[in-house]
Amino acid sequence: MLPNKRILLGVTGGIAAYKAAELVRRLQDQGAQVRVVMTRAATEFVTPLTFQALSTYPVHTDLLNTETETVMGHIELARWADLIVIAPASADFLARLATGRGDDLLTTLCLAAECKIAIAPAMNQAMWAKAATQANRQLLLDRGMVFFGPEEGLQACGETGAGRLLDVAAIVEHCAGLFTTGLLSGKHVVITAGPTREALDPVRYISNHSSGKQGYALAEAAVLAGATVTLISGPTNLPPPDRTNFVPVVSAQDMYDAVMQTLDIADIVIGVAAVADYRPATLSEQKIKKSDGHNSMVLELIENPDIIKAVANSKHHPFTVGFAAETTNLLEYATKKLKQKNLDMIVANDVANHAIGFDSDDNETAVIWVDHVEQLPRMSKSNTAGRIIEFIAQRLAQKSGCA
Ligand code: C5P
């Protein structure tokens, strides 16, 4: 339910802090990467070592700790997260968040973050019911934060009422719910991903550095959006995402054939694959031998079919999205491809920048369609995928509204 989602778990000072340890495990069970930030008060209840062992990452506690800042600075940490979950959130923390304080690491992260912030409060029932706490809750809701719980029941202090931390399984489900949109329910999305391999002989091939990460993240995002997803992938090191029809292929021709077979049922085709433009003109049945006395070799290449162009120009014409991986003149080249290939949308990214390139976990893209460009800042490939799916759903709705 949370494939590759980056969740920053903020733990504040309260007896329910021990339940946050279980929350780390349950979020991980759903595929999330979890990093933990604790307030000073939280460390009085549970040690950072517990969370470090569970999350396998250093636990951040101080704003001005040079050691953890060198591992990942606080702004980087805020940028890293797809979602911040504060569980348990104390009354004091809510008050500090509501007043916009940045007097410790966790409040500062919340100020710096651009992602959604979810709050699971836990406190004595009288503290929760207090007008000040309720006013803070309302203010935070008005600012777009979401609340998970609290629930009613017997409290650690012996009193009964609303203030218990919501059940850990329910918190996990609510987190997943934030990423589940239903935007593409009833739609069939076909995605190409990864590199292709163009064989020269039985042991050698021509390929590229594509990791498949962005294409797989799009497949996961399309699943969360309620679509039926076919992922046609060249060879990668990634496990096939859950709940997709996974079609492994090797060469551009294989990929072309597999995509063409889906055309009758596809509503949307997204070409993320780094398809080899050319393949060797001949495939040698035996291993090509090094020829003595020659210090160079000439390979003849012939053009592969352009898959996404063929899709966009087919009679069926599903909503077609291409990717443009460029090293220079990003917007210019991408816009040219959008038109030349007759695409509905193209996503441009600068593969010369290693922080956001082929094998990295982050991306920074521009989403382009004929009359508009939308810049997406650097974020996880998972979050980038979610945003692209939103744009596709919007454009698709506009298109069918016009029809
Ligand atoms: O022309 P270029 O290869 O830069 O275009 C990139 C876009 O076209 C990507 O969406 C890629 O998946 C798609 N493509 C394709 N078939 C090819 C070459 C590229 O579908 N043979």
- Find the domain containing 84 and state its range: 6-179
Indicate if 276 and 148 belong to the same structural domain. Answer: no
- In a domain, residue 38? The reply is yes
We report the CATH number of the domain holding residue 220 as: 3.40.50.10300
Among the candidates 179, 198, 225, a domain finishes at: 179
Q: What is the pLDDT of residue 403?
A: 43
Q: Please count the structural domains in the chain.
A: 2
310 and 337 belong to one structural domain:
yes
Question: Do 15 and 161 reside in the same domain of the chain?
Answer: yes
Last residue of a domain, one of 154, 179, 204: 179
Question: Is 265 in the same domain as 290?
Answer: yes
Give the amino acid at 82. D
Is the same domain home to 148 and 210?
A: no
Q: What is the CATH number of the domain that holds 149?
A: 3.40.50.1950
For residues 318 and 355, membership in a common domain is answered with: yes
Domain match, 159 and 224 both: no
- The bridge status of strand 151-154 relative to strand 160-164 is antiparallel
The verdict on residue 245 lying in a domain is yes
Q: Which is catalytic among the residues 115, 157, 175, 402?
A: 157
Residues 239 and 125 in one domain: no
Residue 385 lies in a domain: yes
Model pLDDT, residue 357: 66
SS3 per-residue string spanning the chain: CCCCCEEEEEECCCCCHHHHHHHHHHHHHCCCEEEEEECCCHHHHCCHHHHHHHHCCCCECCCCCHHHHHHCCHHHHHHHCCEEEEEEECHHHHHHHHCCCCCCHHHHHHHHCCCEEEEEECCCHHHHHCHHHHHHHHHHHHCCCEECCCEEEECCCCCEEEEECCCHHHHHHHHHHHHCCCCCCCCEEEEEECECCEECCCCCEECCCCCCHHHHHHHHHHHHCCCEEEEEECCCCCCCCCCCEEEECCCHHHHHHHHHHHCCCCCEEEECCECCCEEECCCCCCCCCCCCCCCCCCCCEEECCCHHHHHHCCCCCCEEEEEEEECCCHHHHHHHHHHHCCCCEEEEEECCCCCCCCCCCEEEEEEEECCEEEEEEEEEHHHHHHHHHHHHHHHHHHHHHHC
Distance 91 CA to ligand 1 centre (A): 53
Out of 214, 308, 332, give the residue to mutate to test ligand 1, the one with the largest number of ligand atoms within 8 Å of its CB. 308
Give the per-residue pLDDT at 25.
98
Same domain for 111 and 201, yes or no, is no
CA 108 to chain CA mean position, Å:
23
The confidence score (pLDDT) of residue 143 equals 96
Contacts of 285 (CB under 8 A, 6+ apart): 201, 202
- Are residues 268 and 170 part of one domain? no
Identify the domain boundary among 179, 213, 228.
179
Spell out, as residue ranges, where the chain has pLDDT lower than 70. Answer: 71, 357-358, 401-403
Residue 122 lies in a domain: yes
Domain-embedded: residue 13: yes
**pTM, two decimal places:** 0.83
Q: Are residues 173 and 200 in the same domain?
A: no
Give yes or no: 110 in active site: no
CA of 277 to the centre of ligand 1 (A): 8
Q: Does 194 lie in the same domain as 156?
A: no
| 207 alpha carbon – ligand 1 mean position (Å) | 14
Domain-embedded: residue 1: no
Answer whether residue 219 is part of any domain.
yes
